[in-house]
Structure 1
Amino acid sequence: MLLSVSCSPAQESVSFMVFGDPAERQAYLDLVAAFEDAHLEINIEVTHIPSPRDYRDRLATEFAAGSPPDVTLMNYRRYGAFVANGLLEPVGPFLAESDLIQPADFYPITIDAFTWNGEITCIPQNISSLVVYYNQEMFDAASIPYPADDWTWDDFVKTAVTLTQDFDNDGMIDQYGLGVEPSLYRLAPFVWQNGGPIANSDEFPTRLTITRPPSQAALQWFVDLRQVHGVVPNRVEEAAQESESRFIGGSTAMFLNSRRGTPTYREIEDFVWDVAPLPRNQEVAGVLHSDAYCLSSTTENKDAAWMFIEFANSLTGQAIIAGSGRTVPSLIAVAESDAFLDPNQLPARSRVWLNTAVTLRLVPIISTWEEIESTASEEIERAFYGDISVEEAAFLIDSRTEEYFRLGISR
């Protein structure tokens, strides 16, 4: 959907493509309106793609065709494929001259995530992480205390088991304790918590390492959520109704997600929900979720495009987007303000994201990470639903992704 304001001959035009639900779309339109009010000489043409997958496909197509949007939002797991091929203009030189923002204003891990070959390539918008969303009413009905900040893997499993119920004793589960996507991105923090790596190097990875004992043990624990404890739906049930929909509909007690789900969950009227940190094991660890504003190298009006990126990541700009509920602002000052910690909006414990920021880690940043992650996730899903053993999955994860590491370019 293309939304634009007609521009006069004196105006410079900048194209901006984003994704997200209706609340996010409106927040971006508000951001653009605020920018244009302050910069009458610049017109921002907004293209909004609702589906993240469709957005990624559109990005790939337009960059391949040589006609990409001037400004795009990219996740740190995926921008490598573009910057390694010279398709993004590093914004570090612009940032160095900025009077509005400086690197020290941001959570350090977000700047690190978008630094390629020593240059800041994109400006991070958010510092989300994986948390446990939970239905307070289900906990109350089962007389279970809400999750503590220091709860363990054992606490987590016991809670999920207690909350998984067949109320009418017909042999069919009416309420699941947990919903989680069986993917490498969801598995990663649990591998780190168990003292294992997911790759053989943080800086120059050449293979995944799920076959290593602590890493494989974490995969086993993850798979056991379905195969041993039965606290998540099986494949057929998940295909019939995804776990996120079950959580929204009130038939799943806990759901693992990033801040992305908050705008949708705020529309729930039937129960009150909140968030808790991930359970911990030998170590405390979380996985970074972060998107950034990136500048295409083919952009003609680079100064105008940078002015928009700069404004979007200023105190004013990030506060506007934070109002949608979608982001945990990457600017420390905005994250610590009521723009994010709004006491009148769920979740009540938004500070969980800020308190756990120091525990976040990055998945490898390499140009072929999207292929690596999707391939590994296929095998994790097969093990999760009982098609293959954990040992087979670990071997296949490592062996099937080796070629993508050979083809990839690390930062």
Structure 2
Amino acid sequence: DAFTWHDELMCVPQNISSLVVYYNQDLFDMAGLPYPPDRWAWADFVATAVALTQDFDGDGRIDQYGLGVEPSLFRLAPFVWQNGGLVVDDEISPTRLTLTRPPSLQALQWFTDLHNVHRVVPGRVEEAAQDSESRFLAGTTAMYLNSRRGVPTYREIENFTWDVAPLPIGKTAAGILHSDAYCLSATAVDKEAAWTFIEFANSIAGQTIIAGSGRTVPSLKAVAESEAFLDPTQPPGRAQLFIDNADIMRRVPVISTWQEIENIADEEIERAFYGDITAEEAARLAFLRSEEYFFRGETAVTNAKAHE
């Protein structure tokens, strides 16, 4: 569905991935904490992040953060869904953002509290100086939220052991779909050659090559469930998690103006995350500022249908 437009499949899916918690096992060990379980609650997640956030030398500056997360709609969305909320009013034909509705706003408040209340993530200045992924790689951030794309980089880590854990669960389990696809342009110079490549890339042989990179979860189940992907000789040890998460993944809407809508939401979420405005104000502004882009997107779809 993520690559379908007007009931037509536009691209051939190459992979899927879900958002997971990457964690530094050594830092958990030093703190005397158990590794994240297969199922944990929001409160457990926050308590763990708090315990792992440390000012070792007592100078008032945090030396080790418990968590790193991008303050964006894509990172927030799973928690909105977990709380019984919606990101948009209609996931098939959206007309507005719905972060102002109570379940969604509660999730946004919880998300922004990670910085504003619990102080388990770097502030804006600290993040600008060294982003959270770099801190995770350096061993100074204990947990980091990311998709499968981080694995090739993290496999280069030599100074600590790491693994993955599921997102904490709210009222229900939910994740967000990360996916890429192969698309063949109608104006391609050599369509036959391009299609030959796509056929190979999405064959068992091609998908096995992709699996070997570690970056993605192959779209072919036969490859995803093989040792080509579930390689026991390389981290993460809990690679099966990426496959198991497929059943709970949801996607953002397919609308022509989604990038503009997401950019606006990201701006307001970031402002709330770093304490410039309240979560309620961020939700309201995201709704108001994005409204015209839903209209434009709907018009584009309507016009496209009119010309079919």
What TM-score comes out, normalization by structure 2 length?
Answer: 0.96
Aligned counterpart, 1:46 = none
Which residue, 263, 268, 281 being the options, matches 1:374?
263
Q: Shift of the alpha carbon at 1:113?
A: 1.2
State yes or no: 1:279 paired with 2:168.
Answer: yes
Per-residue deviation, 1:228? 0.3
Q: Which residue of 2 aligns with 1:124?
A: 13
Q: What does residue 247 of structure 1 align with? A: 136
Match of 1:233 in 2: 122
Summarize deviations over 1:164-203 as a string: whole Å, max 9, x none: 0011111110100000000000000000000000000011
Question: Aligned ranges for residues 122-161 of structure 1 at < 5 Å?
Answer: 122-161=11-50
Aligned partner of 2:188: which letter? T
Shift of 1:307: 1.2
Verify: 1:400 aligned to 2:289, yes or no. yes
Alignment of 1:291-310 (within 5 A): 291-310=180-199
Match of 2:96 in 1: 207
Match of 2:222 in 1: 333
Structure 2: distance between partners of 1:154 and 1:187: 16
Q: CA deviation at 1:321?
A: 1.1
The answer to whether residue 190 in structure 2 is matched with residue 190 in structure 1 is no
**Mapped partners of 1:364, 1:209: distance in 2:** 13
Q: Distance in 1 between matches of 2:116 and 2:6?
A: 43
Q: What is the aligned partner in structure 2 of residue 172 from structure 1?
A: 61
SS at match of 2:15: coil
Return the alpha-carbon distance in structure 1 between the equivalents of residues 24 and 100 of structure 2.
Answer: 35
The aligned counterpart of 1:322 is 211
Question: Residue 28 of structure 1 aligns with which residue?
Answer: none
Q: TM-score, normalised by structure 1?
A: 0.72
TM-superposition CA deviations, 1:368-387 (whole Å, max 9, x none): 11111011000000000000
Q: CA RMSD in A?
A: 0.9
Aligned with 2:151 (options 220, 240, 262) = 262
4+ runs deviating over 3 angstroms: none
* 1:210 aligned partner, one-letter code: L
* Deviation (angstroms), 1:300: 2.8
Structure 2, unaligned runs of 5 or more: none
Which deviations, in whole Å up to 9, do the C-alpha atoms of 1:305-351 show, x marking residues without a partner?
11111110111101101111111111111100111000011111110
User: Counterparts of 1:310 and 1:403 in 2: how far apart (Å)?
Assistant: 40
Deviations 1:122-164 (A, max 9, x none): 0111110100000000001111110011101011000000000
How many angstroms apart in 1 are the aligned matches of 2:229 and 2:286? 38
- If you compute each CA radius of gyration, which structure gives the higher value, 1 or 2? 1
Which residue of structure 2 lines up, in the alignment, with residue 383 of structure 1? 272
Query: 5 Å matches for 1:208-223?
Result: 208-223=97-112
The offset of 1:303, in angstroms, is 2.0
Q: What is the CA-CA distance between 1:285 and the residue it aligns to?
A: 0.1
| Equivalent-residue separation in structure 2 for 1:173 and 1:192 (angstroms) | 32
**Partner Cα distance (2:239, 2:37) in 1:** 14
Deviation at residue 258 of structure 1 after TM alignment: 0.3
- Which amino acid counterpart does residue 213 of structure 1 have in structure 2? P
- 1:365 is the counterpart of 2:267: no
How far apart, CA to CA, are the structure 1 residues paired with 2:111 and 2:259?
A: 22
Letter in 2 for 1:305: A
Matched residue pairs, number? 300
Identity of aligned residues (%): 70
Corresponding residue for residue 96 of structure 1: none
